[in-house]
Structure 1
Amino acid sequence: MTYVVGYGPHKHDRSAIELACQLARSLPEPVVAVSVVPRGWGTPGAGGTDREYEQWAAGEGDDSAALALADLAQHSAVDGSAVWVAGRSVPQTLIEQAAERDATILVVGSGGDAEPGRIRLTSKTDRLVHSSTVPVAIAPRGYRTSSAVTRITVGFRDDDASWSLLTRAAEISKRASARLRVVTFLVNPSRRPVTNTVSHAETQVVNLWAAQAAAAQGEAADHLTSMGFTGANLQLITAEGADWGAAVDSVDWADGDVLVVGSSSTHRLAQVFLGSSASKILRHSPVPVVVVPGAAVG
């Protein structure tokens, strides 16, 4: 079992390695940084040009692996290594590497255009999270920490998939000796400061959502108590806001936090398909997010 890191040296951001090493400090497994370089054409007509291209790609791979090793060296307690492989598609090659190395999690960073401390998917990482069969952990841009994972926050909305996700997150939090927090996000535009145009029917719907969330959290609390959780290591909250950013910001986040969200498994061609709520939560999260395939949460 390993943590496989998609390492891109030209982004000048070691956040993915930082996150992978944080995970390894919590649940020790080797960390392997994988750099994907372009594969040559492989056609007889390419001749010397193809060989020169492959030599250039190999040089890029060697440089990238050396940089990854330098980043990993800052975490001496972690069993880290770095390799490079040639491939036509970065996401597909990383997925293949994850399978070959029996990866627990694929770890990637955010796009260079993301705000510091925030997450933004590139076209490559977007395809990765829509195709991976293993969880994908995404680090905010510029992410740095010396902490282990001390608290796991799991998104929960009381459907079969999120119940499964909740149980998986609970088991991992016990193994990592991390606290568990269950949060249900409620976005209620009708509860803005100015609500003169909100009808009585809309208010009733909002109140019904809140009541349903409270009942579901009560059931979740009973389930987790049966698994051995107590008030010392368990918290259940509802995060409400006029938009997704406000709802996510209403939660108290700290160093050592990781947010776990589920993906939708409704599309037969995609192992991981972020639903509208999960993708919006991800964009506003100030902490690393782990997207778990085959579970829809919000």
Structure 2
Amino acid sequence: MAQGTLAHTAVITGATSGIGLAIARALVADGCTTLIIGGRRGELLAERARELHAAGAATVETVVGDLADEAIAKQFEHLIDRYEVDLLCNNAGFGVGGSVGADAKTDLLVQMIDVHAGIPLRLCAAAMRGMRQRRHGIIINVGSLAGRLAVPGAATYVATKAFTERLSESLAVEAAAFGIVVQALTPGFVKTDFHRDITDDRSHQKDAGLVRWLTAEHVAAASLKAARAARARLIHGRTVPMRRHTVVVPGWTYRLLAAISNAVPRSLQYRAVAR
């Protein structure tokens, strides 16, 4: 692998826009030559593939469909087995509001658990089999700071993001001895289509105090910088991961908010979010 290049071959789910697309663009700029990207919007995904190819990726394969579809999940597993994947980014996801047992659709909540937790675990397993043999690789699982909070009306969403963080931390410790970096990318608010899918109202996307709306490019840069630092440690034989490289919180204001949240008793947090 060329010096400084994080990955020659990468698989990214949820790559039509937002964080997934920003990571794909950054990887190609860094020297990545083969990309497998997935998304639900076929025409837009094809447009992204053409863009990434023009930017320098020799091969861009697309997987069109919803990860909740077993055939799509199996297609990703097949492509991971077929290519020697250096980097996997589990980014696909969606949001569903509503209270469990009341106005939330239970079937969609179960589907969310599969897309946010079950399928990413399967893709991690598929990627790590080859990475262990080659003794190098990077896995980025996209979570959210919301996974550390109790959020009425979004219980399943935050639970899946808590799973993402704990899974990634545990895998990071497990896999370090095999030269594999595992990261939980844990942003706060980001200007992406995730919020567009929930509401067309953009008036709420304004900075307020320590809450800052980050760009997807900022988040992607923070993720890849941390992955590079973590890989450098492994190359030098340091096989105990550092937390700041494993749980990546982009933006100093969000790192401060995370520290404050850790210090505040949970009972006070419950009171703050109670309706």
| TM superposition score category, shorter chain reference | 0.3 to 0.5
When normalised by structure 2's length, the TM-score is 0.36
Alignment TM-score, normalising by the size of structure 1 = 0.33
Asked which structure has the greater RCO (Cα within 8 Å, sep 6+), the reply is 1
Give the helix-richer structure, 1 or 2: 2
Rg bigger for which structure?
1
Structure with greater proportional strand content = 1
